[in-house]
Structures are given as C-alpha cells and as structure tokens.
Structure 1
C-alpha cells in the first residue's frame, strides 16, 4: 500500500481561517481538484518529515516537522493510497509560490472555498482543522494546548 504525507498550513485573519492548497500542473489536471502539498516519504523519512519536505518543494514555504500537529489519515477511495496530514500555522507574512513543476497554483483559500476546490476524499482534513481551532486548540509548536 502506498502512503503520502502532507501539510495543511493555515492562517487566520479578517476572512477567518484560510488553508493552503495546491493544484497539480498539466493539461490532464486542468479540471482536477486541489490538494494539500503532499507526497511519498523518501527512504526512512517519517511522515512529518515528508510532509514538511513536500510543502517546501511544492510551495517554497519552510515548515519544521517538529511543529506539526497530526490530523489523522484518509484513504483515497480510487487509488487506495493512504494520506497522512498534519496542521501548522503558516509562517507570519508568508506567501506560497509554485516552487515545483508539480503544481501550477498555490494559494491560501477561505475554508468555504477550500471545501469547494479540494479533492472530496481530503475534505475531512479541513473539517478536522476547523474542529481543532474552534475548540480553542490553536496549534502552537506542533501540539494543541
């Protein structure tokens, strides 16, 4: 079974909670849903390490794996790949960019818009992030308070 790890970076502001999503490049992905920056672990890399590396490779944003809060996992229904997700507040003032040929768009989106664009199998991660934050469990140094 294949595994993938990704990061759900978020920020809060006047528009409420915004989540960082990416869109895969290529004509065949033109109408494909958006996703988290994610990918398969390299060698003996842990899931948090893979999530942080993939975030850097796809968006240019640095994330410390030690600061990531687990959001659990989901199984892609079609491919049967397991996706492990982690949440973290976005670095202050950061702006994502398309840092790899793998993505043609990277943006912070309000949660309502993110829910419309994200792959349906991954939408549960937005729900888990919102529940975590609405419980007053602001992510700090990778661990809920």
Structure 2
C-alpha cells in the first residue's frame, strides 16, 4: 500500500515596509538548527491533521509556533515541495509584533545517545525581512512560495 503524502500548511504573513513588502519568517528551535541562518528560516507551518482543512491547519500552526492569532482570510499560493512534504501556504497581510513569541515545544534526545531528553521551542525566533533578505533566509524548498507571493504583490491591488 502506498504511503500517504505528507502535507503541511502554513501562513506567509506580509506587511507594508518603507521600501516594499516585508515577510514574517520563523527560525526552528533546537540544537540541529542553532547555527543555521541562510536557508534555515521557514514560514510558520506544520502538518495537516487527517480530515482537517488546510487553512484551519495553517492558522493553528501559526498560533502554536508564535502564540499569536492570524486574522483575515488567506490567499492560497501554489503548493511547493520542501523536505519531502507538500507545503500549502496562504498569503495574509498582517502587521504583528513578534518581539516576544510563545512557541510550543518538542522533546529530543540531547546530546545524541546520551539517554537524556530535553525540551526545545519549536520556533526560537521570528522576524520580518525585506524581500531580498527573505529569499536568502527561507528554506530552499519554500522559495517558490515566497517568489509567487512577490509576483502577486507586485501585480495585484494589494500594493496600489
């Protein structure tokens, strides 16, 4: 029996900046990502539960990873493949203060083979980035999501 595809859903929040749109990205917590910066950031996202609507999952993951609610309706973007998952994303205009996020946690054996389990935040920081910086920071598999958002913002009424 074929394995079901892994599907994630997330929010690509954007706000109007002085020199163009800025995008909200999150940095994964834990020891494996501690020193990774370029291509180490992501949109807030997570797995879609069986039978769950993607937009509902995206908002839930946003809340779990940042401790913030995302308001408004999301504009669906084309899915992308990232780390073997299909990532569905919604573009939402939002100007949120991410200076003090409250992320859920996960446990992992750390250090490896030590027998000790430690808890780490799923997201250790969040920040707004201009488009050029966001394209460097975002995970390569999610870059098409950001590129599509940039095309839409450049051509749509949202930037008028």
For normalisation by structure 2, the TM-score amounts to: 0.77
Alpha-carbon shift at residue 72 of structure 1 (Å):
1.4
- Report the counterpart of residue 71 of structure 1 in structure 2: 77
- Report the counterpart of residue 82 of structure 1 in structure 2: 86
Q: Is the 2:68–2:101 contact (alpha carbons within 8 Å) kept by the matching residues of 1? A: no
SS in 2 for 1:57: helix
- Report the counterpart of residue 131 of structure 2 in structure 1: 111
Alpha-carbon shift at residue 44 of structure 1 (Å):
2.3
- Report the counterpart of residue 41 of structure 2 in structure 1: 34
SS in 1 for 2:91: strand
1:4 to 8, 12, 21: 8
Larger Rg: 2
Alpha-carbon shift at residue 119 of structure 1 (Å):
0.4
Q: Which runs of 5+ in 2 are unaligned?
A: 104-120
Cα distance in 1 between the residues matched to 2:15 and 2:56: 21
Which moved further from structure 2: 54-63 or 67-76?
A: 54-63
- Report the counterpart of residue 102 of structure 2 in structure 1: 99
For normalisation by structure 1, the TM-score amounts to: 0.85
Cα distance in 1 between the residues matched to 2:81 and 2:19: 30
Map Cα deviations across residues 104-132 of structure 1 (whole Å, 9 max, x no partner).
11011111111111101101111111111
Alpha-carbon shift at residue 138 of structure 1 (Å):
1.7
Alpha-carbon shift at residue 80 of structure 1 (Å):
1.8
Question: Is residue 2:43 matched to residue 1:61?
Answer: no
Cα RMSD for the two superposed structures: 1.7
Alpha-carbon shift at residue 54 of structure 1 (Å):
0.8
Alpha-carbon shift at residue 45 of structure 1 (Å):
1.7
